[in-house]
Amino acid sequence: MSFGDRLQGFRKARGISQTEMAEVMGCRQPTVCDYEKNNVSPSVKIIQKIAETYKVNLNWLMTGKGEMMLSESDIMASELNNFKVVFETKIDSLVHAISENIVSNVSECDKAWYFKIEGDIVCGEQMPIRDESDDLLIPIAKRKLASQKGCKLYQVNGESMSPEIEHGDVVLIKSIKDWKVCRNKVVMIETLDGVTLFRYLYDEKSDSAFFMSTNKQYNPITPNKTHKLLGVVIQVIRFTSL
């Protein structure tokens, strides 16, 4: 059963019209029709919004595994987690504001770290890329990066993360080994085929994880023991000259 079949089956089982679902998704009714016919695929954010709004099991919606609907205990755990995320986000914003205020008092010559591009990250099918960056030092504002320790720059080769990260973009990767810190973020992982980028999604309700490509031409991947976390993308740099 495809994603479109599951979406349509759930919608009809709950007696929800395409127009009503379109309002939740923030799109038009014909778009919902296209989703159900598998003509186009919704973004990760839209899929998550459907799951959160209608209390659908995200794992079932994306893969067809597990039960369609969440249990009462799962719903309560989700609401508690959402409160925790909002609280932590507000704390992070406060810390960031304080940090920016401190950095603003630093002299101009001390406001940036400089990085050299280490190499390519293959994202999908490799494409020709203009390599003019061997000796290029790219500045990263210290107000966005407290320390350069454990951070490296790579150039993206491929379109699996387009349009969020385009072919030829440069990404700043911070070395991280804890999957929990990387939930809902773009991560750099090592696979049997090499090093690449995915958005790492984790659903606490079903205890399920997914690797998602922003480009809808690529299907979600379920993590396994061969996947090694190398780091998380903390900044994307786009230069038209590269």
pLDDT of residue 123: 92
- The fold for domain 111-237 equals Umud Fragment, subunit A (2.10.109)
Each residue's pLDDT expressed in tens, for the chain with a length of 242 residues: 788 898 898 889 889 999 999 998 888 999 999 999 988 888 878 888 888 888 888 878 888 887 887 666 554 555 455 544 444 555 555 545 544 554 444 344 457 888 888 889 999 887 776 554 456 778 887 777 777 888 999 999 999 999 899 998 899 999 999 998 898 899 999 998 899 999 999 888 778 888 999 888 888 888 998 999 999 999 898 866 44
* 177/84 Cα distance (integer angstroms): 22
Structure tokens at 156: 């993206």
- The fold for domain 3-63 equals 434 Repressor (Amino-terminal Domain) (1.10.260)
Burial 85-124 (b: 16+ CB within 10 A, else e): eeeeeeeeeeeeeeeeeeeeeeeeeeebbebebeebbbbb
* Tokens 């810190």 -> residue: 181
Are the beta carbons of 156 and 166 closer than 8 angstroms?
Answer: yes
Q: Which of 120, 132, 131 is nearest to 165 (CA)?
A: 120
pTM for this prediction: 0.57
Structure tokens at 192: 């049997």
Are the beta carbons of 161 and 127 closer than 8 angstroms?
Answer: no
Q: List all residues 6 or more positions away from 117 whose beta carbon is below 8 Å from its beta carbon.
A: 133, 134, 136, 138, 153, 154, 155, 170
* 44/214 Cα distance (integer angstroms): 8
Kindly list the domain boundaries of the chain, sorted by start residue: 3-63, 111-237
* 141/147 Cα distance (integer angstroms): 10
